[in-house]
Amino acid sequence: MKISIPDVFRTVNTLRRYPDDWRSKNFYSGLIHRSGKASDCIACGQCERVCPQHLPIIDLLKEAAEILD
């Protein structure tokens, strides 16, 4: 789905740390013009199979979609 997973996670982490900072939402708006939105995830699991940190990416993208989309 061409989701830039590291950038999505970076945006969510920044929003958690600085909830009133508009730059994170602005960054995400620009990001989704170049790549998929967090809510575009179809839960295929391809990303989780190759994640070097063994993160539950599907669940984290669902959470990110609630925050960002």
Q: Which two structure tokens, joined as six digits, stand for 1?
A: 């789905």
As a whole number, mean pLDDT of residues 14-29 equals 94
Structure token pair of residue 29: 């708006």
Give φ, ψ of 43 to 5 degrees.
60, 40
Q: What tens digit of pLDDT does each residue of 48-69 get?
A: 999 999 999 999 999 999 999 8
Q: What is the pTM of this model?
A: 0.92
Q: Which uninterrupted H or E stretch holds 2?
A: none
Q: Nearest-CA neighbor of 27 among 16, 12, 39? A: 12
Residue type, 34: R
> Domain ranges in the chain?
5-68
